[in-house]
Structure 1
Amino acid sequence: MTPVDSRSREPRSPEQRKREALERLTHDNDVWVATADATGEPCLVPLAFWWDGETVWLSTRVTNPTGRNLSATGKVRLSFGHTRDVVLVHGTARTLTREELPVEVGDAFAAKDGWDPREDHPSYVFFQVIPEVLQAWGTVPEMSGRTLMREGKWLV
């Protein structure tokens, strides 16, 4: 396989990148989730997710590092795709127990992933990630203008 020369590809328009970012949010199965604890110790794990059109829903055990970090700080970065076509979301997470979770969210999450955390171990909780910044780029020429959302508002 011939490596792709990222300098030779024409940059996509912001509108095309937004469209493709939304497709990725809708159709990808997993996301890399980056958090840190109070001392700054990083944690990076892949998790299943569901995009409701405005927010990203995650589920993990509240007792593991990611769950503890999200519950404590609410700060999270999500990475969709791969290094040559990435969508990064900087957001704030809100913790919801199974009892607090809207039934339709739990049902949609389970339908997309084929796994229902509500029926798994009791330590599973849900996190609603509200995007604050969304960036999308695939090549060096796309670095400029990669921010498509700022302060939770689409720029394109």
Structure 2
Amino acid sequence: MTAEEPRTPQQRRADTMARFENDIDVWVATADARGVPCMVPLSFRWDGTTFLVSTGRTLPTGRNLAENGGRVRLAFGTTRDVVLVEGAATALEAAELAPGEIEAFAAHSGFDPSSLKTPYPYFRIEPVWIQAWREANEIAGRDLMKDGRWLV
């Protein structure tokens, strides 16, 4: 397969933002206190600054996010069009979300945690590092954000 010309940094950021706004699910990777990894797909909503996900309090991902300072990594796309995000998650109960936020999450993702018998907490993920690349010719310059600051 012949690689396309590499995208400009500005185009990579635009493509990344489009993915955040339009994708519904993301791979979420966490680890427990012993370092045992866990990776699951979760629905999400991007508000332009942070991601919102929801998962069971007693499930491994929920426990890991609550117990390990919220360290999390998100993976979007395929191996030939990937976006990686490292972030810090904050646990929130439904009552702590802004008015309309639960409805916006459900409308975007098609999943309404508030309809479950067992309450699911929400986790707001603030990105601190973002990379995006397609082929090997985009490896250089793949960092779009470092230390919570956009580079592009």
TM-score by length of 2: 0.96
* Structure 2 CA distance for aligned equivalents of residues 122 and 102 of structure 1: 21
Count residues with an aligned counterpart. Answer: 151
Native 8 Å contact 1:63 1:123 kept in 2: no
Give the distance between the partners of 1:132 and 1:121, measured in 2 at CA.
34
User: What is aligned with 1:80?
Assistant: 76
- Counterpart of 1:61 in 2: which secondary structure? coil
1:10 Cα offset (Å):
1.5
1:91-142 deviations in Å (ceiling 9; x for gaps) = 0000001221223221110111122111213331100000000100001011
User: Are residue 130 (structure 1) and residue 126 (structure 2) matched?
Assistant: yes
The aligned runs of 1:29-48 (5 Å cut-off) are 29-48=24-43
TM-score (norm 1): 0.93
Unaligned 5+ segments in structure 2 are none
> Match of 2:89?
93
Aligned equivalents of 2:119 and 2:107: distance in 1?
Answer: 21
Tell me the residue number matched to 1:65: 60
RMSD: 1.0
SS at match of 2:55: strand
Which structure 1 residue ranges, 5 or more long, are not aligned? none
Output the amino acid matched with 2:101: V
Counterpart of 2:51 in structure 1 is: 56
